[in-house]
């Protein structure tokens, strides 16, 4: 049994930090298999360009087709790394004994570690991006249905944690949806910048790949499903910084939605709650607890991604044509951040699918404000008579009286002769019509829904 150190590798806790599809993409065996595939394609093209023997290329291709990256291979490669302290030479030597007499001599001819590893990283992230676009689209469909269903469901709009004015729950959801759709568009737009390989040699000059190096580069990367860069990017890591920052934005939205549910699930508010799974336990000491576990974990995952994005921003600063301080850090943070973001998207989809909306409690909380939630509307009506600033001061004084005396705002207005002398009783009562107090929330919900187009989701 292999000891696990990183939480995502834990037999017990790993599923809370990654998803099976993402783990498979970043698993060590699959990563090394991907490196060997790149070496195989490289050798085939180099043979066609007359740089290496055809038989060597054939042996490398055969090795890629049949090799098993098993424990024996990994142990041998590990020993080679410990002996040489070189990132790839231990693996090359382990392959050399398995490739064949000629093939082993021509592995990675004229290329460097970053040519292999950067190209595999980009191939992996292109697949991840496609998967994430599908996940984001699924979340958008859930949010769209939720926004339509609750287009006119009134609730307290809150600022600074306090009730402010009435809104609709559909409006809140449409705000989430609008934000998530921008993330989808960013992922789509990122495609051309992400789908670029690396094949440039030791310092990026392609000096080792012959007079037709640029044509060779294009052919190799095309066969691997990637575009050729205009120039080496061994020291230009902005593509990867953009990827991690995109993940930081996406996961932060998940955190924002989760935090909103954490707050609104509090029993004293009780407007939303996570779907309950029988058997789930909130506390081993307080049996009654039903904690918003998914919502909280979205915050944990988002913090991981955001901190890795900050680390990646540090890696943008390189010395000369290659800098191990910056580049090697990517090996730790890119998989970790991508796994966490993938899990966050999966959890967000589950959270929104099973979300429980307590619309009666939303109405009860509006009523619990004792009419103060309508104070802006009263102030604006009064402003037409005495001016906005004077109306604000008057409503401020009445609101203090409502708090002190435990009154309803409408009751306080009816008792105040300075108000009734300006606003007839019927007009005061009309100001407390909830249906007319949510502004243009419903119209904006419809605008957001109309703007969402998932037909070309991954174009």
By the 10 Å C-beta count (0-12 exposed, 13-18 middle, 19+ buried), 443 is classed as: exposed
Q: At residue 459, does pLDDT exceed 70? A: no
Given 78, 97, 205, 283, the catalytic residue: 283
Given 160, 320, 455, 459, the catalytic residue: 160
What count of other Cβ atoms lies within 10 Å of the Cβ of residue 106? Answer: 23
By the 10 Å C-beta count (0-12 exposed, 13-18 middle, 19+ buried), 253 is classed as: buried
Cα–Cα separations (whole angstroms), residue 81 to 89, 116, 124, 283, 344: 7, 16, 24, 46, 34
User: Phi and psi at residue 41, in whole multiples of 5°?
Assistant: -65, -40
The DSSP output letter for 369 is: T
Q: At residue 1, does pLDDT exceed 50? A: no
- Distance (Å, whole) CA 84 – CA 458: 43
pLDDT band at 248 (very low <50, low <70, confident <90, very high): very high
- Distance (Å, whole) CA 190 – CA 144: 24
In the predicted model, what is the mean pLDDT of residues 168-173?
Answer: 98
pLDDT digits (tens, 9 = 90+) for 22-49: 999 999 999 999 999 999 999 999 999 9
Q: Is 160 annotated in the active site?
A: yes
pTM above 0.85, yes or no: yes
The share of the chain scoring above pLDDT 70, in percent, equals 96
- Distance (Å, whole) CA 12 – CA 33: 27
Q: At residue 456, does pLDDT exceed 70? A: no
Greatest alpha-carbon pair distance for the chain in Å reads: 103
């Amino acid at each position: 049994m292999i000891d696990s150190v990183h939480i995502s590798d834990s037999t017990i806790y790993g599923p809370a930090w990654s998803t099976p599809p993402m783990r498979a993409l970043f698993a060590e065996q699959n990563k090394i298999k991907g490196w060997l595939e790149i070496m195989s394609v490289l050798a085939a093209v180099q043979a066609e360009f007359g740089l290496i023997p055809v038989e060597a290329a054939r042996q490398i291709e055969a090795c890629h087709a049949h090799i098993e990256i098993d424990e024996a291979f990994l142990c041998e490669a590990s020993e080679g790394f410990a002996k040489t302290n070189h990132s790839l030479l231990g693996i090359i030597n382990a392959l050399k004994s398995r490739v064949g007499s000629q093939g082993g001599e021509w592995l990675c001819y004229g290329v460097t570690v970053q040519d292999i590893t950067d190209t595999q990283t980009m191939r992996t992230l292109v697949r991840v991006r496609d998967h994430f676009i599908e996940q984001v689209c699924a979340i958008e469909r859930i949010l769209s249905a939720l926004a339509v269903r609750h287009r006119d469901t009134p609730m307290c709009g809150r600022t600074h944690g306090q009730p402010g004015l009435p809104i609709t729950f559909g409006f809140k959801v449409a705000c989430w949806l609008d934000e998530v759709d921008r993330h989808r568009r960013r992922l789509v737009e990122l495609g051309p910048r992400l789908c670029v390989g690396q094949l440039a040699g030791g310092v990026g000059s392609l000096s080792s790949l012959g007079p037709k190096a640029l044509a060779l580069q294009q052919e190799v990367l095309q066969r691997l499903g990637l575009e050729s860069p205009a120039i080496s990017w061994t020291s230009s890591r902005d593509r990867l910084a953009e990827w991690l920052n995109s993940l930081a934005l996406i996961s932060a939205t998940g955190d924002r939605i989760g935090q909103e549910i954490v707050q609104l699930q509090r029993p004293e508010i009780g407007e939303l709650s996570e779907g309950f799974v029988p058997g789930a336990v909130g506390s081993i000491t307080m049996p009654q607890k039903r904690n918003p576990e998914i919502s909280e974990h979205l915050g944990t995952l988002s913090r991981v991604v955001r901190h890795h994005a900050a680390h990646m921003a540090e890696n943008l600063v390189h010395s000369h044509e290659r800098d191990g301080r910056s580049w090697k850090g990517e090996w730790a943070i890119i998989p970790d951040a991508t796994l966490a973001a993938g899990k966050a998207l999966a959890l967000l989809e589950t959270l929104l699918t099973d979300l429980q909306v307590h619309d009666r409690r939303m109405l009860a909380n509006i009523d619990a404000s004792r009419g103060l939630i309508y104070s802006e509307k009263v102030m604006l009506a009064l402003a037409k008579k005495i001016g906005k600033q004077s109306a604000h001061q008057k409503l401020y004084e009445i609101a203090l009286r409502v708090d002190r005396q435990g009154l309803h705002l409408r009751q306080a207005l009816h008792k105040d002769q300075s108000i009734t002398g300006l606003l007839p009783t019927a007009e005061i009562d009309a100001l407390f019509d909830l249906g007319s107090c949510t502004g243009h929330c419903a119209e904006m919900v419809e605008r957001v829904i109309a703007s969402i187009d998932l037909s070309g989701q991954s174009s």
